[in-house]
A and B are shown apart, each in its own frame.
Chain A
């Protein structure tokens, strides 16, 4: 009988009691599958692939599954070094999970070594994208056009300044991080955030320097009047799971 397993993350073999009471997707109990000093964090997976796929295309269901995945990863990451998996990675049974651990042992061991003692911090920078209002009510068509062209020029300048400011912040933060990674800027329609998201980055930081890094990010942004900053995390190192030495 096959019992499909949903994989959340792989970590160094941690105390199985750390998983006690933890539930994952669809409320399934989380447990570990160990191989040597590695352990996969798994739960019983929904067995109907088509149904799960259909669910992930609906925002409300996607949110539920993502939240469950994230909760499990965050809980395990709080006490152990983990390599998080992408959403909805499912294997036929426990045997297959163990096989993956065996086959990719070196890869996971290297990643875990690199990620030990680190956390991911998210930094989003926004520029106010509202156009400045026309200064005075225009009295003629000509002065209206002049104001309009002035407004366009000011907007172009504002974007250039903002781009330079983003680079300054990103460079300074990069120097204080072990690694960095960029996500796509978030569309305002999805995030609901005010302003235009011009940087959506993640930085890998030593756990002991998270507070310092967060404070630095805020200070850097304060020095840039064109930018608004949002800091998130600490996260499990989702954005740093690419093997470093492979293309």
Chain B
């Protein structure tokens, strides 16, 4: 069972959840402006949404028009 799930290819979004919201946060010497996860998600969305324009009514909050 464990082998089964670890063998699955890891989805980028699950990796990003952890790498952008988890992990030790220390201010390194080069401070990259990626702490603002929303910004990243917005730019991801901007990249992905045009491909799925037919789904644009399904917003993040789950509310529908």
Contact = CB atoms under 8 A, between A and B. Distances in A.
Given A56-B34, A190-B41, A63 B26 contact: no
Interface residues of B, number: 43
B35 to A, nearest CB: 8
A91 B47 contact: no
Contacts, number: 144
Contacts of B13: 186, 190-191
A100 B62 contact: no
B58 A188 contact: yes
Contact of A87 (B10, B34, B60): B34
B46 to A, nearest CB: 9
Interface SS of chain A: helix, strand, loop or mixed?
A: mixed
Interface residues of A, number: 60
Contact of B1 (A4, A88, A183, A211): A211
Interface in B20-58: 20-26, 28-30, 32-34, 40-41, 43-45, 47-49, 52, 55-56, 58
B55 to A, nearest CB: 6
B2 A210 contact: yes
B40 to A, nearest CB: 7
Contacts of A58: 43
A77 B50 CA distance: 38
21 contacts: A45-B30, A52-B30, A53-B32, A53-B33, A57-B43, A58-B43, A67-B15, A70-B15, A84-B18, A86-B25, A87-B23, A104-B26, A122-B14, A183-B18, A188-B55, A190-B13, A214-B5, A232-B14, A234-B2, A238-B19, A238-B22
Interface of B: 1-2, 5-6, 8, 10-26, 28-30, 32-34, 40-41, 43-45, 47-49, 52, 55-56, 58, 60, 62, 64
Contacts of A187: 41, 45, 60
Given A91-B28, A187-B45, A239 B18 contact: yes
Given A214-B1, A232-B11, 6 more contacts: A57-B43, A87-B20, A181-B22, A183-B17, A232-B10, A233-B6
Contacts of B5: 214, 231-234
Given A190-B44, A196-B62, A234 B30 contact: no
Q: Which of A89, A104, A131 has the most CB of B within 10 A?
A: A89
What 8 A-B pairs come out closest when comparing CB atoms? A238-B22, A238-B18, A86-B23, A87-B19, A92-B29, A90-B30, A239-B22, A89-B28
Contact of B19 (A69, A129, A200): A69
Contacts of A211: 1-2
Contact of B24 (A49, A88, A241): A241
A215 B15 contact: no
